[in-house]
Amino acid sequence: MTLSVLAAANRRGILCMVGAMAFFVTNDALVKFVSQSMPAAQLIFIRGLMSVVLVLVVAHAMGVTSRMREAARGWVAGRAVVDAIATMLYLGSLFNLPIGNATAINLAAPLFMTLFAALFMAERVRGARWLAVVVGFAGVLMVIQPRADGFNPYALVCLFGTLFHAARDLMTRRIDAGIPSILITLSTAVAVTLVSGAGTLIQGWKPFGLAELGLLALASVFLTGGYYLIINSMRQGEMTLIAPFRYSGLLFALLLGYGVWGEIPNALAWFGIALLIGSGLFVLINEKRRRPALTVPPG
């Protein structure tokens, strides 16, 4: 792969990662409203059913439904199972941890992704990338400000969920490039829906109205878009360069928190935001300097 092609792939990967985080955060905000009146497993199951239908419609429009068997085989199926496990581990810990602590652990994913890429994918991890990941995570901690007394054995469950999320992204890189991303999205949506459906047998089922159904329908659109974009982000460029931009999700969460709930960060959080933005800019500037501009040789 030439430098220009790799640079273009990295740009697409970064844009897809930032877009995925925006979609996931919007989905989380919508789900937060619905969770006040509906059990978590039921909520995820209904949203998952809508997501599966939406993906099937899109896959049909793209003309790839004849290849649906590929969504249930090999790395695609394995990735979907790992994603479903990661989702349930994270949600299980979230119900028993302060949200700040759970979010902080979950946003350690770029650290694990960078480590996995170096160990299992032979990606060369330069010092600048490690610095960006570590500084970005420090910014996350300053924004979230998790409490020491909030950590309990469920923190270990959350950590395992984060490891599974990082493993999921590593597995995405192993999937054959010829398999359409929409089929990987379908496999993920089906797996999460099946697992949450089993969860409803334990948590039970509550009646709901059109308002909840409408919010979940909208959430399913953002969730599906997030699935598709994060899959594409992991199939582009260098994983160790793209991973730190997962932190952008926290910035979107802060914007929503201010716009919807009127939440204003304190002084320490503002410093953390500056670190987050600075680490992202540092990565981009460093990559631009590292890759010399390609010139067309004279006739």
The pLDDT-based confidence of 115 (bands split at 50, 70, 90) is confident
Assess if residue 26 is contained within a domain. Answer: yes
Assigned domain for 287 exists: no
Q: What is the pLDDT of residues 187-206, one digit of tens each?
A: 999 999 999 999 899 888 99
**Mean pLDDT in residue range 84-103:** 79
What's the Cα-to-Cα distance from 112 to each of 119, 163, 235, rounded to whole Å? Answer: 10, 7, 17
Going by C-beta distance under 8 Å and a sequence separation of 6 or more, which residues neighbour residue 276? 136, 139, 140, 143, 247, 248, 250, 251
**For residue 245, is it within any domain?**
no
Q: Find out whether 131 and 180 touch, Cβ atoms under 8 Å.
A: no
Q: What is the mean pLDDT of the chain?
A: 87
3-state secondary structure the chain: CCHHHHHHHHHHHHHHHHHHHHHHHHHHHHHHHHCCCCCHHHHHHHHHHHHHHHHHHHHHHCCCHHHHHHHHCHHHHHHHHHHHHHHHHHHHHHCCCCHHHHHHHHCCHHHHHHHHHHHHCCCCCCHHHHHHHHHHHHHHHHHHCCCHHHCCCHHHHHHHHHHHHHHHHHHHHHCCCCCCHHHHHHHHHHHHHHHHHHHHHHHCCCCCCHHHHHHHHHHHHHHHHHHHHHHHHHCCCCHHHHHHHHHHHHHHHHHHHHHHHCCCCCHHHHHHHHHHHHHHHHHHHHHHHHCCCCCCCCC
Has residue 176 been placed in a domain? yes
Lowest mean pLDDT among 89-103, 106-120, 131-145, 242-256: 89-103
Lowest mean pLDDT among 9-13, 53-57, 151-155, 275-279: 151-155
How many domains are contained in the chain?
Answer: 1
Give the predicted TM-score (pTM) of the model: 0.87
- Residue 13 falls within a domain, yes or no? yes
Statement: residue 91 has pLDDT above 90: no
Q: In which domain, by residue range, is 80 found?
A: 7-125+150-237
pLDDT at 39 over 60: yes
C-alpha pair distances (Å), 71 with each of 101, 224, 225: 34, 15, 17
Q: Residue 293: its pLDDT value, please?
A: 46
Rounded CA gap, 87 and 161, in Å?
A: 7
In one letter, which amino acid is 244? P
Whether residue 62 lies inside any domain: the answer is: yes
Residue 106 falls inside a structural domain = yes
pLDDT at 140 over 80: yes
For CA atoms 206, 211, 215, 218, the dihedral sign is positive
- Confidence (pLDDT) at 290: 67
Domain presence at residue 283: no
Q: In which band, very low, low, confident or very high, does the pLDDT at 1 lie, cut at 50, 70 and 90?
A: low
pLDDT at 107: 83
